[in-house]
Chains A and B, each alone.
Chain A
Amino acid sequence: MRLSDASVVIRPRTTWEAMDLGVLMSQQHRRLLMTSWAIVTLPLFALLSLLLWDSPSLAVFIFWWLKPAYERLPLYILSKALFGETPTLKQALREWPRLLKPQLLASLTWRRLSLSRSFVLPVTQLEGLDGEARQQRLQVLLQRNGGAAQWLTIIGVHLETALWIGLMLLFYMLLPQQIETDWDWQSLLLAADQDWRWLEHLTNVFYALILVAWGPVYVACGFSLYLNRRTQLEAWDIELVFRRLRQRLNSSVLGVLLAACLLLPNLQPVWASDAPDAPRLLNQPLTSQAARDSIQSLLEQPPFKNKESVTRYRFADDPASPAKDAQPGEAPQWLKTLLGWLDGRHLDALANVIEVLLWGALIAALGWLVWRYREFLRAFVSRRPNLPSRSKPPAPPHVFGLDLNRETLPDDIAASAEQLWLSEPRAALGLLYRGLLSHLLHDFDLTLKAADTESQILNRIEQLQRPDLLAYSRNLTVHWQNMAYGHRLPAAHLQAELCNGWRELFSKGSGH
């Protein structure tokens, strides 16, 4: 046995952790353990069932009683695997008859019902102790972990039962409906034994199957408890490290001597440059200090360091307010009055109130949920999601500073313009142009934007396909631009032309 070859980490564990290690060990060799167990037990079980066909309970009892005999095989496999010499299936099966020999009678008779069976088995099988020596050994070993081994067996009994019943129920659930109708549990219990014998044997098979899964785990857990106890008792982990330390020191002494002999001249400069604290690389453009600084600043930035400050509300611990001491006399008094008050028929009324409150809470919660996820639900309820209708942007009341509201304009624009023409020609032209825009906006539904220029408006008018309107608008726009930007007064004859043009265009259309 070489501890350094162990395939598990050796250190003292608590007893529960030691069992967990056993589970891990059984996991690692699951296939080998379960196959070998199945090959050993299932034929035996079949044989027992055939021989004792008329008494299925006896068959499964004998099968159960023989468990210590099967358990020797997984222990052999695990003990070999612990030091990395996992046997093949054939080797393990060939070994089994030899494993059965020592103390089989004892383990199948007076030691059968011992609760620490799994823990004791390695002493018998691996240490090969017998009689007085075995007793002494067990006395030492069982001082600590004996209780855990017993717990393991107790848990195992319950687990086996639960798994067994579970498998039966699973079988029952998987039955097709037609068969199930004939199977009343009462009739199963009362029926003549002959008819249902095969069913009893079937449930026994389930037990054998359960053991295939659980048996090796049980053995592994007992073995790991045993290992753990010996680790504690003999400080295996310390021995392991001490041996490694010795090896390191012995080899390093040799190594240092060799190195000193061979490499001494070469070592000098290496050491000199290796002084850790002396500033280095001082003559390059990038000194080591600068490099370190820039690395440091890089490390402070996001990919390496993500700082965020989170502000949350929490209850302040107010040391000023004294803790509310529960007054011992108060609670019973309060309880007493409550109980006294509760006693009587108005309890039912209270029950109803609580019922109403609970239903109300449920409805409120549902309502809240619906409200909370209303957008989400709407996607399922209405066929076309009600997209927010694209409201037409409101027509701008002002285009380059001109007020286009109809209310601000006089009723008869042409007449007003004629009146204004002599005194304020600018205002008259402005009025005409403003009136044109207002008509375009309100009567022709032209989209005008506050940012439009005069020529852009003309382009829009062109799209209306109204030549007379376009011609008049061009005319008016030219004069308006001359007036507004060029300060050139329009000729007098234009007054009549523009006003009449206006009347021609709009007097007949003013009605609509």
Chain B
Amino acid sequence: MLEPTAPRRKAPLDTRHQVETPEGIDLPLRPAGLMVRAVAFAIDLGIRGLILGVLFIALAFLGKLGMGLGSLLLFAISWWYMVLFEVLRQGRSPGKQWLGLRVVHDDGTPIGWSASLLRNLLRFVDLLPFGYFLGALSCLQHPTFKRLGDIAAGTLVVYSERPLSRPQLPDAEPRRSPVPLTLSEQRAVLGFAERQAELSPARVNELAALLAQPLHISAPKAVSEINGIAHGLLGPTP
């Protein structure tokens, strides 16, 4: 008989992976799973195939020299493409960059030569017996989505942080919150104001009504009041 697998009160499941630095700072990393990595790999594979195809056609005219150069090229591209891009471009091959991924060490530091070489050499283990069979299974089973090469090299594929744009808040008179708010509550108030455009008006009113009574504001004016608090939290905008 199978027991329910999850105990009732466990830390809730999240795609964030906390790394604690020696200074006691928590760095949230977001490991990337099999699907996005498969797409990134397909893009890289396409780029490599394209480069090799074009160069082989060009080298076909050069006779024996062309053959020699071609095999050198094949070696260089199949073994060094990933390594060079990862080490010299902050862990991003073109496919990974396209999808906003990067490779880092387990502790979040930029990937170095040894780790990158190891994880890419072990691709040949992940490939076995066909088409990343082992790699895919390992990726699906590992809590931080590592394939075997990543486990051996101690690396992690994470989503890179995108630059933030300044949020557009709906117009309201800035005002002070009547009660002190914790960080997550401030974030929620700001998020409420920022994401208002995506929500239906009925839902916006429903959410605002939740806070009308505890903040001592009248229900009809709750939305604009909370927007005002968000403006107050955001500070003066240039």
Of B26-34, B83-91, B105-113, the one contacting chain A is: B26-34
Query: Which of A16, A348, A350 contacts B33 (CB under 8 A)?
Result: A16
Q: A89-B2, A234-B199, A243-B210 are in contact. Are A162 and B131 (CB under 8 A)?
A: yes
Contact A235 B39 (CB under 8 A): no
Inter-chain contact B15/A13, CB cutoff 8 Å: yes
Chain A residue contacts of B5, Cβ below 8 A: 28-32, 81, 86
Q: CA separation between A84 and B207, bound complex, in Å?
A: 25
Check if A237 sits within 8 Å of B188, measured CB to CB. Answer: yes
- In the bound assembly, the distance between CA atoms of A432 and B17 in angstroms comes to 89
- Complex Cα distance, B196 from A234, in Å, reads 10
User: Could you tell me the distance between the alpha carbons of A158 and B34 in the complex, rounded to whole angstroms?
Assistant: 12
Contacts of B39-69 to chain A: CB distance below 8 A: 39, 62-65, 68-69
Does A35 reach chain B (CB closer than 8 Å)?
yes
Report the bound CA distance from A243 to B211 in whole Å. Answer: 8
B179 to chain A, nearest CB (A): 6
B234 at the interface (CB under 8 A from A): no
Q: Which of A20, A213, A217 has the most CB of B within 10 A?
A: A20
Nearest-CB residue, chain A, relative to B129:
A169
Pair A9/B198 contact, Cβ less than 8 Å: no
Contact B140 A233 (CB under 8 A): no
Q: Which residue of chain B is the closest to A91 with respect to CB atoms? A: B4
Q: Does A90 contact B (CB under 8 A)?
A: yes
The reply to whether B35 and A88 form a contact with Cβ atoms under 8 Å apart is no
B36 / chain A contacts, CB cutoff of 8 Å: 16, 19-20
Given contacts A7-B10, A237-B191, A246-B211, contact A166 B65 (CB under 8 A): no
Q: Could you tell me if A235 and B12 are in contact, using CB atoms closer than 8 angstroms?
A: no
Complex alpha-carbon distance, A155 and B62, angstroms: 40
Shortest distance in angstroms between A366's beta carbon and chain B's nearest beta carbon?
18
Contact residues, A25-41 vs B (CB, 8 A): 25-32, 35
Whether B33 and A23, one on each chain, are in contact in the complex, defined by CB atoms closer than 8 angstroms, is yes
B25 at the A interface (CB under 8 A)? no
The answer, yes or no, to whether B171 is at the interface (CB within 8 Å) is no
Task: For the complex, give the distance between the alpha carbons of A249 and B187 in Å.
Answer: 17
- Residues 150 to 165 of chain A near chain B (Cβ within 8 Å): 151-152, 155, 158-159, 161-163, 165
A24 and B191 contact, CB distance less than 8 A = no
Question: Which of A26, A88, A90, A246 makes the CB contact (< 8 A) with B210?
Answer: A246
Instruction: Answer whether residue A354 sits at the interface, using C-beta atoms and an 8 A cutoff.
Output: yes
Cross-chain contact B39 with A17 (CB below 8 angstroms): no
Contacting residues of chain A (1-27) with chain B, CB-CB under 8 angstroms: 6-9, 12-14, 16-17, 19-21, 23-27
Contact partner of A342 (CB less than 8 A), chosen from B62, B191, B215, is B62
Could you say which interface size class chain A belongs to?
35 or more
Residues of A within 8 A of B130 (CB): 162, 165-166, 169
Q: At the interface, yes or no: A106 with Cβ under 8 Å from chain B?
A: no
Query: B203 near A354 (CB under 8 angstroms)?
Result: no
Q: Is the CB of A238 within 8 A of B32?
A: no
In whole angstroms, how far apart are the Cα atoms of A25 and B12 in the complex? 10
Q: How far is the CB of A151 from chain B (nearest CB, A)?
A: 7
**Does A87 lie at the interface of the complex (its beta carbon under 8 Å from any beta carbon of B)?**
yes
Q: Give, as a whole number of angstroms, the nearest-CB distance from B182 to chain A.
A: 8
Q: Which of B162-210 contact A (CB under 8 A)?
A: 179, 181, 184-185, 187-188, 191-192, 195, 198-199, 203, 207, 210
Known: A9-B14, A170-B133, A221-B35. A81 touches B64 (CB 8 A): no
Chain A residue with the shortest CB-CB distance to B142:
A27
B219 within 8 Å of A by Cβ? no
* Residues 119-155 of B at the A interface (beta carbon under 8 Å): 129-133, 136-137, 140-141, 143, 145
User: Given known contacts A237-B188, A242-B207, is B132 in contact with A162 (CB within 8 Å)?
Assistant: yes
User: CA–CA, A158 to B4, complex, Å?
Assistant: 32
> Does residue A173 face the partner (Cβ distance < 8 Å to B)?
yes
Inter-subunit contact B33/A351 (CB<8 Å): no
CB 8 Å contact bits of A329-371 with B (1 = contact, 0 = none): 0000000000000100001101100110000000000000000
User: Which residues of A lie under 8 Å from residue B185 when comparing CB positions?
Assistant: 241, 244-245
Let me know if A239 is at the binding interface, CB within 8 A.
yes
Q: Is the CB of B64 within 8 A of A151?
A: no
Asked if B114 is at the interface (CB within 8 A of a chain A CB), the reply is no
Find out whether the CB atom of A347 lies under 8 angstroms from the CB atom of B64: yes
- Is B76 positioned at the interface, with any CB of A under 8 Å from its CB? no
Could you tell me the distance between the alpha carbons of A151 and B38 in the complex, rounded to whole angstroms?
11
How many angstroms between the C-alpha atoms of A473 and B32 in the bound complex? Answer: 91
B16 lies within 8 A of chain A by Cβ: yes
Q: CA separation between A233 and B38, bound complex, in Å?
A: 28
Contact A24 B38 (CB under 8 A): no
**Cα–Cα, bound, A46→B46 (Å):** 40
Known: A14-B159, A162-B136. A239 touches B210 (CB 8 A): yes
CB distance from B214 to the nearest CB of A (A): 4
CB neighbours (8 Å) of B64 from chain A are: 347-348, 351
Q: Do B211 and A233 touch (CB < 8 A)?
A: no
Please give, as numbers and ranges, the residues of chain B lying within 8 Å of A84 by CB-CB distance. 6, 8
Q: Are A23 and B145 in contact (CB under 8 A)?
A: yes
Apart from A165-B131, A342-B62, what are 15 other A-B pairs with CB-CB below 8 Å? A12-B195, A19-B36, A23-B33, A25-B13, A31-B2, A86-B4, A86-B6, A88-B3, A89-B1, A152-B35, A165-B130, A235-B195, A241-B184, A245-B181, A347-B62
Which residues in A have some Cβ–Cβ distance to B below 8 Å?
6-9, 12-14, 16-17, 19-21, 23-32, 35, 81, 84, 86-90, 151-152, 155, 158-159, 161-163, 165-167, 169-170, 173, 213, 217, 221, 232-235, 237-239, 241-246, 249-250, 253, 342, 347-348, 350-351, 354-355
19 A–B pairs (Cβ distance < 8 Å), ordered by A: A9-B12, A17-B159, A20-B145, A23-B145, A24-B13, A27-B143, A28-B6, A35-B2, A81-B6, A88-B4, A158-B38, A162-B132, A170-B129, A234-B203, A238-B191, A241-B184, A246-B214, A249-B179, A347-B63
